[in-house]
Protein backbone atom coordinates (compact mmCIF):
# COMPACT_ATOMS: atom_id res chain seq x y z
CA UNK A 1 0.00 0.00 0.00
CA UNK A 2 1.14 3.52 -0.79
CA UNK A 3 0.47 6.12 1.93
CA UNK A 4 -0.18 9.75 1.04
CA UNK A 5 -1.80 12.80 2.60
CA UNK A 6 -3.34 16.02 1.38
CA UNK A 7 -5.81 18.77 2.01
CA UNK A 8 -9.03 20.29 0.82
CA UNK A 9 -7.72 23.85 0.66
CA UNK A 10 -10.41 26.53 0.65
CA UNK A 11 -11.00 30.21 1.25
CA UNK A 12 -14.11 32.24 1.87
CA UNK A 13 -14.79 34.84 -0.82
CA UNK A 14 -17.87 36.26 0.89
CA UNK A 15 -20.46 34.83 3.27
CA UNK A 16 -21.66 31.44 2.00
CA UNK A 17 -19.30 31.49 -1.01
CA UNK A 18 -16.04 29.53 -0.96
CA UNK A 19 -13.31 28.71 -3.44
CA UNK A 20 -11.51 25.34 -3.41
CA UNK A 21 -7.95 24.83 -4.72
CA UNK A 22 -7.20 22.10 -7.24
CA UNK A 23 -3.83 21.17 -8.71
CA UNK A 24 -3.39 20.35 -12.42
CA UNK A 25 -1.20 17.33 -13.14
CA UNK A 26 -0.06 17.54 -16.78
CA UNK A 27 1.41 14.01 -16.62
CA UNK A 28 -2.08 12.58 -16.04
CA UNK A 29 -4.01 15.48 -17.61
CA UNK A 30 -6.25 15.70 -14.56
CA UNK A 31 -7.10 17.94 -11.61
CA UNK A 32 -6.78 16.85 -7.97
CA UNK A 33 -6.63 18.14 -4.43
CA UNK A 34 -3.05 18.82 -3.28
CA UNK A 35 -1.57 15.60 -1.95
CA UNK A 36 1.54 13.45 -1.95
CA UNK A 37 3.45 10.58 -0.38
CA UNK A 38 4.93 10.73 3.11
CA UNK A 39 8.65 11.30 3.50
CA UNK A 40 10.63 9.06 5.88
CA UNK A 41 9.72 9.80 9.51
CA UNK A 42 6.97 12.25 8.53
CA UNK A 43 3.49 12.18 10.06
CA UNK A 44 0.43 12.15 7.81
CA UNK A 45 -0.57 15.68 8.81
CA UNK A 46 2.93 17.05 8.27
CA UNK A 47 3.04 15.39 4.83
CA UNK A 48 -0.32 16.98 3.99
CA UNK A 49 0.91 20.42 5.07
CA UNK A 50 4.19 20.07 3.13
CA UNK A 51 2.50 18.83 -0.03
CA UNK A 52 -0.12 21.59 0.12
CA UNK A 53 2.63 24.21 0.47
CA UNK A 54 4.73 22.70 -2.33
CA UNK A 55 1.87 22.32 -4.77
CA UNK A 56 -0.07 25.55 -4.12
CA UNK A 57 2.36 27.93 -2.40
CA UNK A 58 -0.28 28.50 0.28
CA UNK A 59 0.82 28.79 3.90
CA UNK A 60 -2.40 27.29 5.18
CA UNK A 61 -3.97 26.72 8.58
CA UNK A 62 -5.09 23.13 9.04
CA UNK A 63 -8.45 22.26 10.49
CA UNK A 64 -10.20 18.96 11.16
CA UNK A 65 -9.31 15.59 9.71
CA UNK A 66 -11.78 14.78 6.94
CA UNK A 67 -11.13 11.08 6.41
CA UNK A 68 -9.34 8.81 3.98
CA UNK A 69 -9.78 7.59 0.43
CA UNK A 70 -8.41 4.33 -0.99
CA UNK A 71 -8.05 3.55 -4.69
CA UNK A 72 -6.09 1.27 -7.00
CA UNK A 73 -5.51 -2.48 -7.05
CA UNK A 74 -3.13 -5.02 -5.53
CA UNK A 75 0.16 -3.54 -4.30
CA UNK A 76 -0.73 -0.31 -6.09
CA UNK A 77 -3.50 0.57 -3.61
CA UNK A 78 -3.08 4.16 -2.47
CA UNK A 79 -4.49 5.52 0.78
CA UNK A 80 -4.80 9.29 1.07
CA UNK A 81 -5.68 11.01 4.37
CA UNK A 82 -7.24 14.47 4.00
CA UNK A 83 -7.49 17.51 6.25
CA UNK A 84 -9.41 20.73 5.85
CA UNK A 85 -7.06 23.67 5.26
CA UNK A 86 -7.83 27.37 4.99
d(CA 4, CA 12): 26
Model confidence over 30-76: pLDDT tens digits?
Answer: 999 999 999 999 999 999 999 999 999 999 999 999 999 999 988 88
pLDDT of residue 73: 85
DSSP-assigned letters across all residues of 3-68: EEEEEEEEEEEETTEEEE--EEETTTTEEE-SEEEPPTT--HHHHHHHHHHHHH-----EEEEEEE
Using 50, 70 and 90 to split pLDDT, how confident is the model at 23?
very high
pLDDT of residue 61: 97
Q: What is the pLDDT of residue 22?
A: 97
What pLDDT, in 10s, does the model give residues 9-18?
A: 999 999 999 9
- Cα separation of 20 and 40, whole Å? 29
Amino acid sequence: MIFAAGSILWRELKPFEVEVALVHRPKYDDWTFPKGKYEIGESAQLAAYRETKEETGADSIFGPYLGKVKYGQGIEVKRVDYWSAK
